[in-house]
Structure 1
Amino acid sequence: MSKGWLLILLLLLNLNAHAEDWPGEQWPTAPMPTGPAIEALERYAFAPRDDATRQGIRTDALLVIHDGRLVYERYAGGTRADTAHLTWSISKSLLATVYGVAYGEKLFALEDPAANYYPPLNRLARMTLADLFHWASGLDWQEDYEYAPLNSSVVAMLYTRGRHDMAAFAAGHDSFSPPGLAFRYSSGDSNLLAAALKNIVGPARYADYPWTALFEPLGIRHATWETDPSGTFVGSSYAYLTARDLARVGLLMQREGRWGGRQLIPKDWIAFNREPFAHFQAGQDEAVPGGHWWLNRAVDPAIHPWPDAPPDTFAALGHWGQALYVIPSARLVIVRYGDDRDGSYRHNELLKRAMAAFAGTVQP
């Protein structure tokens, strides 16, 4: 073989070695790492499970994608690979991802008044869509759950007087701050966005839009997203996906909105999702809000909620321990479903152990 052909062959082999893997109907796989780091991860995530008292860390699923390949998967508690698990507030980040497709269609701008697309907000003319994505509507919302149900806006919205039209219930709250100036986590803000999307994409497209815009292009075949009786998606809470399918959304985000050869979501939308909200203050939550995603960094560089994870880590998080972690610098996507009822699960602890187990497999 001539030197020229040998050089071409080496170049082709090098290109193939660095080709990106993408899931088809199934995820491509790679050998699972073994050893003490994996054992330490499993001791934390899959401690002996107490289903009688629902105490302690109770992981239902843990799945890891590295470089587009499935490298770890384990289930417990009745959850299986084909189980469409309730994601709770991961739904909020899924909603933001669906919005990213509409943004790429140039159907709205972030600084548009929210009332343009949801008229019940006309009394709050200064509120923008960006304010809602930052959970900064200024509405006096109480995001309390089991520990304070009588004062909880979210319990009333999901289960009692607000459940027939959740966006209208949220819009009816008084204000505690001008829009855009203060972070207050609110499932109501998310459901206002879900209602606004109906007018952004048009009623004829709305019922199928999460599927046609996002799920079908990613190869997600079995997602469920509940609506309230008014026909509005419960964008705050009620999307169901398998762990493998949720990982597809994570890979899309890790690769800045690309899916195969298509830029499904514009890069500037992903940048907005990952930009810290300027008015967030340390101690307001367990992670830093971005554009309906949670970040491991803030405008203040001293704020680093998950110190054992890289600063570029971001996540979609949900009640009772649901998590989709995206770590671009390590080319990792981690899905964790759980049924944690006592608050003992810690994001940083799982991320620390996952980095020890899988970041060592990353090649430059």
Structure 2
Amino acid sequence: MRTPRFLLAAAVGLVLTACGSRLTTEPLSTDTRPTDQPAVAGDYPEQPDGVPFPTAEWPVGDLPADVSRTVLDTAAASAFGADDAAARVRSLVVVKGGEIVYERYHPLDGPDNRYNSFSVAKSFTSALVGLAVADGELALDDTGLRPEWAGDHRRDVALVELLQMSSGLQWDEVYEAPSDPLDVIAAQDAAALVAAKPLESEPGTVFEYSTGTTALLVGLVADRHGGCAATADYLHTRLLDSIGITTDTLLTDGDGCWLGGLGADMTTRDFARFGPLYLRGGEWDGRQILPESWIDATRVPAPTNADYGLQWWLGADGVFSAEGLFGQRVVVDPADDLVIAANSTADGDPFTLVDAVRAELLSPTGPDAAPPSATTTVVTAPLTLPPTN
């Protein structure tokens, strides 16, 4: 499904050089990573026996016995705010061991609500590029990516530098008109608009967060894969359909190409489905959807920003996450076999909520004296809220 780009434009207005070239299903050698960073290859937990992948339905399980549901409920109530239109955080889905063990929604929302993705879409674009790399259509060290770059130094921009937000192309990531991101949303050909930008720094030397760069990545896949419609089919057939994502709405430019840097809207349960694909090293129900080496490469810190990989944000202890404006998060924690997805409004704080939930799961303070029998809480009635100032 596609969304008229002017609607999201109005909403926004308001408010590996180190990784080598061709990737295969074999893990990357540790000597291709920066020497001051730990290797992350091979730390992906397997799907527990008897727990199906959530291709059709999400399996639902119990919270670990020593986890306090009261602590989670209190954190959610504080984050969600009052039960009126001024809601803050809107949804939370916690997946442990492949099962939803905790789920909350603001009273105005529910499991069927579709949420804007904003920059969480960038991580989906990374997966799209990973498919093209695995199929031999692109390579991380490819240069000369656009024909109009042949006569100047833009020909030296490598694919990995686009993925790591260090292309050197001129960009200003602000959201009040006039702005580069709003120009991309309104563009007839978003990739061409970004490709026309001059260099403002040497490729690979400066981190410059750019929604336009991600639109350019989609354009590169489209150029090599038969155009906009064929690329959307490729995204769905090879990625979204394969992992059971069915509620997506893609925001496109005037030519019909997905913008990539934003606009992959879906339910929180579908956002959460994206996490296990990376948590399992690209494998899904016996199929290798993405090479494990691509997941590894995604988690290598960029030379220009140790907190960023290939369109994913990198945290401590091997945790990595897709993050979006106004508070969308998909957090992947391989060491603890954990995925947390949350959606929020501009006034929300999903960071504090997700951190509180993860802290309770990793260092439990429970059990509660009388835990409820339900394994999952879907909030459809007003929450009991703490006092507000």
Instruction: Give the TM-score taking structure 1 as reference length.
Output: 0.80
Could you give the per-residue CA deviations for residues 203-254 of structure 1, whole angstroms, max 9, x where no partner exists? 3732311101101111122222122112221101111111111111100011
Aligned with 2:338 (options 311, 332, 340): 332
Please tell me whether residue 357 in structure 1 is matched to residue 360 in structure 2.
Answer: yes
Runs of 4+, deviation exceeding 3 Å: 15-21, 32-36, 49-52, 120-123
Please tell me whether residue 216 in structure 1 is matched to residue 241 in structure 2.
Answer: yes
Please tell me whether residue 180 in structure 1 is matched to residue 184 in structure 2.
Answer: no
In structure 2, the gaps of 5 or more residues are 1-45, 365-389
Aligned with 1:201 (options 225, 234, 237): 225
In structure 1, the gaps of 5 or more residues are 1-14, 282-287, 298-310
Higher relative contact order (CA 8 A, sep 6+): 2
Please tell me whether residue 23 in structure 1 is matched to residue 54 in structure 2.
Answer: yes
Could you give the per-residue CA deviations for residues 261-307 of structure 1, whole angstroms, max 9, x where no partner exists? 111111111011111101227xxxxxx1111100015xxxxxxxxxx
Q: Which residue of 2 aligns with 1:249?
A: 274
Q: Which residue of 2 aligns with 1:48?
A: 82
- SS of the aligned residue for 1:73 comes to strand
Q: Which residue of 2 aligns with 1:289?
A: 308
Question: What's the % identity of the aligned pairs?
Answer: 31
* TM-fit CA distance, 1:350: 2.6
- SS of the aligned residue for 1:81 comes to coil
Please tell me whether residue 158 in structure 1 is matched to residue 201 in structure 2.
Answer: no
> Counterparts of 1:325 and 1:95 in 2: how far apart (Å)?
17
> Counterparts of 2:287 and 2:182 in 1: how far apart (Å)?
40
Q: Which amino acid in 2 is paired with 1:28?
A: P
Q: Compared with structure 1, are the counterparts of its residues 39 and 60 closer, same or farther at alpha carbon in structure 2 (3 Å cutoff)?
A: closer
Please tell me whether residue 278 in structure 1 is matched to residue 303 in structure 2.
Answer: yes
Q: Compared with structure 1, are the counterparts of its residues 207 and 355 closer, same or farther at alpha carbon in structure 2 (3 Å cutoff)?
A: closer
Q: Compared with structure 1, are the counterparts of its residues 81 and 36 closer, same or farther at alpha carbon in structure 2 (3 Å cutoff)?
A: closer
* TM-fit CA distance, 1:74: 1.4
Alignment of 1:44-123 (within 5 A): 44-48=78-82, 51=85, 58-76=88-106, 78-113=108-143, 115-116=144-145, 118-122=146-150, 123=152
> Counterparts of 2:137 and 2:211 in 1: how far apart (Å)?
24
* TM-fit CA distance, 1:345: 2.3
Q: Compared with structure 1, are the counterparts of its residues 18 and 125 closer, same or farther at alpha carbon in structure 2 (3 Å cutoff)?
A: same
Q: Which residue of 1 aligns with 2:263?
A: 238
Is 2:191–2:212's contact at 8 Å kept on the other side of the alignment? yes
Alignment of 1:118-129 (within 5 A): 118-122=146-150, 123=152, 124-129=154-159
Q: Compared with structure 1, are the counterparts of its residues 222 and 125 closer, same or farther at alpha carbon in structure 2 (3 Å cutoff)?
A: same
Is 1:91–1:238's contact at 8 Å kept on the other side of the alignment? yes
Please tell me whether residue 314 in structure 1 is matched to residue 339 in structure 2.
Answer: no
> Counterparts of 1:195 and 1:65 in 2: how far apart (Å)?
33
Is 1:40–1:353's contact at 8 Å kept on the other side of the alignment? no
17-26 vs 216-225, greater mean Cα deviation:
17-26
Could you give the per-residue CA deviations for residues 98-120 of structure 1, whole angstroms, max 9, x where no partner exists? 2222222222210011x43x323
- In the alignment of these two chains, the number of paired residues is 313
Instruction: Give the TM-score taking structure 2 as reference length.
Output: 0.75
